[in-house]
Amino acid sequence: MRMARHLCLVLLVGACVSGCDAADDPSLDGFGAGDARYDGAWADLPDAGSQDVWQDRPAPGDVASDLPGDGNVTDPGQAADSGAGTEVADDPGPLGDPGPADVGAQDPGPVDPGTADPDVPITPVPFTCGSGTVKDGWNQNWTVAGKNRSFYARFPTNPDNKPVAVLFVYHGQGDNVDNFRKFFNPDPNADAAFPYVLIYPKSLALMPYGTDKGIEWDILKSASGDGNLDARLFEEILGCLGTTVTVDTDNVFVLGFSAGAIFSNLLHARYPDLLPTVFSMSGAWFNDAKTVSEVNTMGMATLSWAALANGSGTVFMTHGGKNDTYGSMGITIIDFEKAAQNALPHLKSKGRTVIDCPHDAGHTNHPQIPIAAMVRFFKDHRGGGSSPYLTDGLPAVFPATCSVIAPQ
């Protein structure tokens, strides 16, 4: 029976290793791959069909089309990744030609820029750098924890040389940086009072078997000092940013979708003081016992994170209802909606404020939260501390169905 389970999981997940460009079944998702809306238009990006293992339900109005990558932005570490099970979360902007990736990802609707720039002291980045200066655009062939790593950086112009915030962005399983930037690519120069650097790490496309186990990212296990491959990359990038620009270490943020959301949650759990603010779209917390007990790993993986420490912070959490699940061949591996319901008491009991934003579009981002509102959330939570939404309420840029859950 164990061998049968092993074979089943290899068939379900292992197919993601090589591309299946000819497949065209949009109903199968890859822990972040399949249903996509980008740059203000609704569209299905090329998916991997049978290679994908996370069950997705396309939201109404999706239009199937194969979208080429941005000709001006190419991942140098591999051929243009146009069909490896891509899933990009969806910007709910107007229909029409999305335009260039670095322009169209901004929702055109006006958004109140939020609170003023706080006067906060700057503390040094807590990590060292062994790889050199971070440059605008692709940074490739960095050796981190014995692995060849790459990432994309986008800097603000920052003419006043202000200390800059940093926003790390993690895509879903089967996706790639160029593709995810078609969804989330805000302009770091849009608000002179809030300059920030965008960092898009490239994953190792990990699988739950082999020497280095994971689901796209190193998300299965996490403990202090364990050498987590993607946590090590996070530390290296931030350490080298600290030698490149003046980093405002009170304003380091993280955003992710699906597998990338799980890794974003993992980073918050590892570095709760450095990363108190998280935007997590259809993720899960593997330091919550109830969530772990409900994940069907088929005996192939152990989910083990160190306990979430008591503390503070704010987690913005979106989840897509009964169809926000992962599975294939009639097997449900994880129910992200249940994971979200589990996360509410888990985070609340550990002192976190939760901005809970449910929707019913399935395994995708919230179709009523534009990119500018996501950035507004980070700006409103500069410096960490208590969320201003606890006293002032949610800004009108967020759907009325969102709620603020106060910590215990």
Q: DSSP states of 350-364 as a string?
A: TT-EEEEEE-SS-SS
Q: In CATH terms, is domain 2-405 a member of 3.40.50.720?
A: no
Q: pTM of the entire structure?
A: 0.77
Inter-residue contact 324 to 336 (CB < 8 Å): yes
Q: Tell me: pLDDT of 124 over 50.
A: yes
Residue 318, pLDDT > 50, answer yes
Q: Which of 11-15, 46-50, 111-115, 204-208 has the highest mean pLDDT?
A: 204-208
Question: Which carries the bigger pLDDT value, residue 68 or residue 244?
Answer: 244
Domain boundaries, the chain: 2-405
Q: Which residues of 58-80 are buried (b: 16+ CB within 10 A; e: fewer)?
A: bbeebeeeebebbeebebebeee
What pLDDT shows up at residue 119?
55
* Minimum mean pLDDT range among 93-97, 187-191, 196-200, 275-279: 93-97
234 and 267 in contact (C-beta within 8 Å)? yes
User: Span 35-60, mean pLDDT?
Assistant: 31
Range with the poorest average pLDDT among 84-88, 162-166, 184-188, 317-321 = 84-88
Secondary structure tally for the chain: helices H, strands E: 9, 17
Cα atoms found within 13 Å of the Cα of residue 38, Cβ hemisphere only: 30
Which residue type sits at 398? F
Nearest to 289 by CA among 224, 349, 231, 332: 349
Strand, coil or helix: what is 165?
strand
Q: Is the pLDDT of residue 170 over 50?
A: yes
Residues 6+ apart with CB under 8 A from 368: 92, 359, 399
Please provide the average confidence, as pLDDT, over all residues in the chain: 78
pLDDT mean over 123-143: 97
pLDDT category of residue 120 using cuts at 50, 70 and 90? low
